[in-house]
A = this chain, B = another copy of it.
Amino acid sequence: MSQNLTQTQAFARLAELAARPVSLKDSLNAQRIKEYVRHNGPLEFSFATALVDTPVLDALQKLSDEQDVIGKYKRLLAGDLVNVGEKRKVLHHQTRSLSDRGMYGEEQQKIAAFCEKVHSKQLIGYTGKPFTHVVQIGIGGSDLGPRAMYIALERHVKSLKGTLPLTASFIANVDPDDANHVLSSVDFETTLFIVVSKSGTTQETLTNLAFVKQRAKDSGLTDVDLKKHFIAVTGKGSPMDDPSAYLASFYIDDNIGGRYSSTSAVGGAVLSLAFGADVFESFLQGAGVMDQCALDPNIYGNIALLSALIGLWERNFLGFSSKGVIPYCEALSRFPAHLQQLDCESNGKRVNMAFDAIDYETGPVIFGEPGTNGQHSFFQKLHQGTDVIPLQFIAFKKPQIASDITTFGSSSQDKLIANLVAQMVALAVGKDDVNLNKQFPGNRPSTLLIAEQLTPAVLGALLAFYENVVMFQGFLWHINSFDQEGVQLGKVLTQQLLADSSDRDPVLVALQSLIKD
């Protein structure tokens, strides 16, 4: 079935249920907390503090069935052209398939072999020194995901292996201060650059590539020297697929969108070089396990589907327009920024799969910072602001690094978890007070993802969980989560301005003249 959300039978039922909202103040108790937990692979999902009850969950199950969410997922996996706007397949799941990874598996094998040569010092820099640093030049999906994953695992791999095979930095912004700053902290002799652009034509990336090459030449490197320091991740046959300029090329294709490319060569090259191909393989395995779990049509057996449905309930029936993702884990400090791209670029849409306008809300504003930091920042608004903002918390039973300390009778890890639990309960239950300024309204919902420890496999599981949540919501909303037509107009207008011809739009020119030196 392919239909708008509002055309489903479940829609009317859910709208009815929304009129008599669940009260967490009345219903949250130890029993509910024990019952409202499900797990998939290494992840547990607690939804006791969400604004749902059995009738709501039953209706959400019916909505999922009516929209044939799992059927759509299976057709996606089978290679149907589910990216209807661009008439493309959607194959990012194949990069971490537990059976056959096709060309993506072959590319990752090439990457692993290349890493082995770098890590064993068979491949070295132009002055004969081994590589100690890798710099990824890319933007959007070629930056946010890989960068967030690198930050997430940097501490863990360092403590596992004693040291990182290579340390990594990232250049993304066309702002020249970005490349200048990163280059000030690396040495060309010992640095390998990865240039990432599927089309081989991304303006920012080509500009930063030229910038880095120019600075290298200024430092005395010849073209022959340069080639020893650059590898490409790009589409086969793209302008960047050029063996004369790159030591190696690893391929991606049009069936994987940038924001879904962390498990492809886009993340594979930099993460395998920095951490070792073994670590990246664990990451892929963790993702693959969650993709399998996501096949269950029963919402109680499929936490990505359950989370997707709760999000839709909050957005379309309870009317909440934004969502916070709060990892109680410093290593996930940039994970919310990646999810912001993943969600907003996938489901920030107003046209359905048949290219007709829709009359209901799609993807919310996604934002987040790690806890406990956020508690000392925007949590005031979460507790006492005029809007209700649903949250998804992420927590781990153990820190990434074994070293902890007991102060004031508890470990730092215990304090971290106690803070998280206190926030969830304060939001859900609130507190009365005759002084309204000290009153907490309560009934502010959240959900919680839990795992043992943030290992590579668990990070892969988390990433796949969120990718599948976004995919399921797209199916439920009957929109295409895999194109991004909304970025095109800006590109066209930018080119018009930079072309510097006489027939440029006077509005563009007038605005530009305000800022141009």
* Residue A329 at the chain B interface, CB threshold 8 Å: yes
CB–CB B498/A214 < 8 A: no
Q: A181-B330, A422-B508, A494-B422 are in contact. Are A378 and B515 (CB under 8 A)?
A: no
A351 proximity list for chain B (CB < 8 A):
384, 436-437, 439
Complex: how many Å from CA A489 to CA B423? 8
| Mask: chain A, 201-221; 1 = CB below 8 Å from B; 0 = not | 001101110110011000000
Decide: A373 and B515 in contact? CB cutoff 8 A. Answer: no
**Nearest 7 A/B pairs, CB to CB:** A348-B381, A140-B376, A422-B493, A344-B378, A348-B385, A384-B486, A341-B377
Is B383 in contact with A486, judged by CB distance below 8 angstroms?
Answer: yes
A155 at the interface (CB under 8 A from B): yes
Return the contact of A30 from the options B179, B340, B403, B507 (Cβ within 8 A). Answer: B507
A161 interface contact, C-beta 8 A: no
Interface string of A400-415 (1 = CB under 8 A from B): 1101110111111111
Q: Contacts A384-B349, A422-B508 known; A370 to B413 CB distance under 8 Å?
A: no
Partner of A488, one of B140, B369, B400, B438: B438
**Residue in B closest to A203 when the chains form the complex, CB atoms:** B415
User: 11 A-B pairs, CB-CB below 8 angstroms?
Assistant: A33-B514, A155-B180, A215-B403, A341-B377, A345-B379, A375-B487, A385-B486, A422-B490, A422-B496, A422-B497, A423-B490
Cβ of A2 under 8 Å from chain B: no
**Interface size, A (range):** 35 or more
When the two chains form the complex, which single residue of B361, B435, B490, B505 contacts A387, counting CB atoms closer than 8 Å? B361
Measured between beta carbons, the chain B residues less than 8 angstroms from A155 are 177, 180-181
Cα of A448 to Cα of B415 in the assembled complex, Å: 42
Please choose the segment from A58-66, A69-77, A242-250, A425-433 that sits at the chain B interface, where 4 or more of its residues have CB less than 8 A away.
A425-433
Report if A20 contacts B (CB, 8 A).
Answer: no
CB contacts (< 8 Å) of A363 on chain B: these are 381, 385
Whether A175 contacts B399 in the complex (CB less than 8 A), given A344-B377, A489-B431, A490-B423, comes out as yes
> Which of A431, A507, A515 has the most chain B CB atoms closer than 10 A to its own CB?
A515
Question: Nearest Cβ in chain B — how far from A141, in angstroms?
Answer: 7
A318 CB within 8 Å of chain B: no
The answer to whether A425 touches B505 (Cβ under 8 A) is yes
Task: From the candidates B330, B365, B509, name the one contacting A175 in the complex (CB within 8 A).
Answer: B330
A328 close to chain B: CB less than 8 A: yes
Residue in B331, B377, B438 whose beta carbon sits within 8 Å of that of A340 in the complex? B377
Chain B residue numbers with a CB within 8 Å of A452 are 517
Interfacial chain B residues near A140, Cβ < 8 Å: 373, 375-377
A400-B177 in contact given A344-B378, A422-B508 (Cβ < 8 Å): yes
Interface residue ranges of A209-242 to B (CB < 8 Å): 210-211, 214-215
Name the B residues within 8 Å of A279 (CB-CB): none
Q: Is there contact, CB below 8 Å, between B30 and A506?
A: yes
Tell me if A144 counts as interface (CB < 8 A to partner B).
yes
Smallest beta-carbon distance A362→chain B, Å: 5
Tell me the A380-397 residues at the B interface (CB within 8 Å).
380-387, 389, 395, 397
In the assembled complex, which residues on chain B have CB atoms less than 8 Å from the CB atom of A348?
A: 378, 380-382, 384-385
Q: Given the interface contacts A175-B329, A177-B330, A415-B203, does A341 sit within 8 Å of B405 by beta carbon?
A: no
**Contact, CB under 8 Å: A507 / B373:** no
Minimum CB–CB distance from A245 to chain B (whole Å) comes to 15
Q: Which of A143, A176, A337 has the most CB of B within 10 A?
A: A176
Which residues of B lie under 8 Å from residue A404 when comparing CB positions?
Answer: 176
Q: Is the CB of A484 within 8 A of B405?
A: no
Does A178 belong to the interface (CB within 8 Å)?
A: yes
B139 touches A206 (CB 8 A): no
Asked whether, in the complex, the Cβ of A486 is within 8 Å of the Cβ of B381, the reply is yes
Chain B residue nearest to A138 in the complex (CB): B376
A180's nearest neighbour on chain B, judged by CB, is B401
Say if the beta carbon of A98 comes within 8 Å of chain B: no
Complex partner residue of A511 from B33, B398, B480, CB under 8 angstroms: B33
Q: CA A197 – CA B210 in complex, angstroms? A: 46
Q: Are B380 and A344 in contact (CB under 8 A)?
A: yes
Q: What residues of B have a CB within 8 angstroms of the CB of A415 in the complex?
A: 174, 203-204, 207, 494, 498
A345 close to B378 (CB less than 8 A): yes
Asked whether any CB of chain B lies closer than 8 Å to the CB of A46, the reply is yes
Determine whether the beta carbon of A507 is less than 8 Å from that of B425.
Answer: yes
Which residues of B are found within 8 Å of A509, using beta-carbon distances?
Answer: 30
